[in-house]
Amino acid sequence: MIRINSYLHRNLFYDVVRRWMYNLTYPSDAELITRLTHFNTVFVSRYLEIFSRTILEKLHGADLKTGKALLKSDLKDVLIASPPYLNERIEELIREYREHPERYYRATPFSGTLFFIERAGKQCYIGSTRIKRVRRLAEKSARRIADSIFEAIKRRADVLADDRARRLGIPHDQLVTRSEDMAEEFNKAEDRFLEDLRNKRPIHFEDELIINDVAGLKVIVEDCDFSRVVETIRQTDNCEIIEEEPHTGRYNAVNLIVSYTPQKDQLLQTPLGPGTLKIIEARGLDPDHADREFADFIHIGEDQVNIEVIVSNYQEMLESEIGRCMHEDRIIRQRLQQKYRGHLAKNVEYLMVYLFNFAVSARSDLGELPIKLWDRYLPDYFDEVIRSLFDLPPLRLVE
C-alpha cells in the first residue's frame, strides 16, 4: 500500500489506508489521522527548511535571503524579475508571460520558501522548497493505488483467458480474443476484486507504493555546476543520495532522492504554532500537552526521511514554470492519461481525498466512512460529502 517516505510513522498511515479500503475504521482513527497529518506537516516544513539552507549555503558560500510563496504567481513572478542571463528563448518566454499572465495558472496554491543571494546589488533567485499540498498528495496516492489495482485486475483477467484457452485446447498465445470477450473478462476480474474487498479477503499488490516527493527542493545552477550540487549533498552530514535520475528531452534536469537524517532536537526548539493548536483543540485533544506529544511523535518516529532534489539551470526552470513543460499542464496530462478510470478508480480517489480533508476539517467524530469502494457514486454525491465535512449547506436551489 502507500508509503510516504517524507513522513514519520509511515506504517500507521499505511495501515489506515489499507483498512479504509476494506471499510474498516477504529474509533481512534480520527485522532490518529489528525496527528499523522498535522504533526507531519510541521515536521516536514521544519526539516526541509534546515536541509535546504544547509545545501544552498554550502553551494553558494553566501548568506541567504528568503521569501514565502503561497501561490504559483509568487514563484513565477520572481523567476522573470531578474534573469541571470538572456537569450532569444528566455526573452520570448518572459515576454509571453507578461503579455498573457492569465495563461499560467498563477492562482495555483503553492507552499514553499524562495531562496535568494545578492549579486551586483540585485536579489538573485537560486532555488525554492515546496511541500506537496494535501489535494495533490491525495490525488497521487489514489493514482498509485488505482494503477496497482488495474494491474491486479489484469492479472486476474489473464487467468480467465488461460481458462478459456484450456477449455478450447489451445495455447494461450494462440488464443484470438474479441474485444467484447476481453472486456467481459476484465469486468469479471474487477467484480471478483471488489468482492474480495467487500468480504475482507486479503488483496496483494506486486510492489509497495512509494511516494518520495512530498518534501522537495529545487536548485538552480548552470550545467557546469550540476556535479558540484551532487558532491555538496554527498559531503553533507546526515545525507545520502539513494536515487539519481536524469531527465532529457522537452525538460532537462536531474532528480535526486536524498535520504536525510534530521537532528530531531533541533526541530523541537520552536513550539507548535496557533493554527496547529487550534485544530488539535477542535478534535478534543489537549493543546497544553501538544508540544510534548509532538516531541514524542518525532522521537518515536523513523530516523530517516526522503527529500526530492531537482537540479536544473535557469532556462529549464523557466520551461517548467511558464514554458513547454509547464508543471500545471503536466498535472492535467497525468489526469487524462491514467490507465484505469472506472468506478473503482474514482472511488479510491474519493476515499483518499476524504481522508486528507477529514484531517483538516473541524470534525472530531469519524463515524461511518461515506465511501465504500464497491459502491457506485456520482461526483454530486462526493461534493456533498466534502461540504458536510466543513458544515456547509447542501448545494441545492430552494424557494
Strands (E), the chain: 2-4, 65-71, 109-119, 122-131, 209-211, 215-220, 239-247, 253-260, 305-312
Rounded to whole angstroms, how far apart are CA atoms 157 and 160? 5
Rounded to whole angstroms, how far apart are CA atoms 88 and 105? 24
137 to 116, 208, 301, 319: CA distances (angstroms): 28, 17, 21, 24
**pLDDT tens column, 343-397:** 888 999 999 999 999 988 878 889 899 999 999 999 999 999 999 999 888 877 5
Closest CA to 132 of 252, 206, 45: 45
1 pLDDT higher than 70: no
Q: List Cβ neighbours of 170 (8 Å cut-off, separation of 6 or more).
A: none
pTM, whole model, 2 decimals? Answer: 0.90
More confident residue, 362 or 46: 46
175 pLDDT higher than 60: no
28 to 19, 25, 31, 356: CA distances (angstroms): 13, 8, 6, 16
Closest CA to 298 of 41, 43, 16: 43
84 pLDDT band, cuts 50/70/90, is very high
Q: What is the pLDDT of residue 354?
A: 95
Helix residue ranges, H only, the chain:
10-21, 29-34, 40-60, 72-81, 88-99, 134-168, 179-198, 226-234, 264-267, 274-282, 290-300, 314-322, 327-336, 343-360, 379-389
**pLDDT tens column, 210-251:** 999 999 999 999 988 999 999 999 999 999 999 999 988 888
Strand partners, 117: 124
Q: What is the pLDDT of residue 176?
A: 52
Rounded CA Rg of the chain? 24
Residue 3: phi and psi, rounded to 5, are -130, 115
Instruction: Answer whether 126's CB lies under 8 Å from 314's CB.
Output: no
Mean residue pLDDT across the chain: 89
Rounded to whole angstroms, how far apart are CA atoms 236 and 223? 21
| 3-state secondary structure (DSSP) of residue 306 | strand
Rounded to whole angstroms, how far apart are CA atoms 40 and 6? 9
Count Cβ atoms below 10 Å from residue 367 Cβ, excluding itself.
9
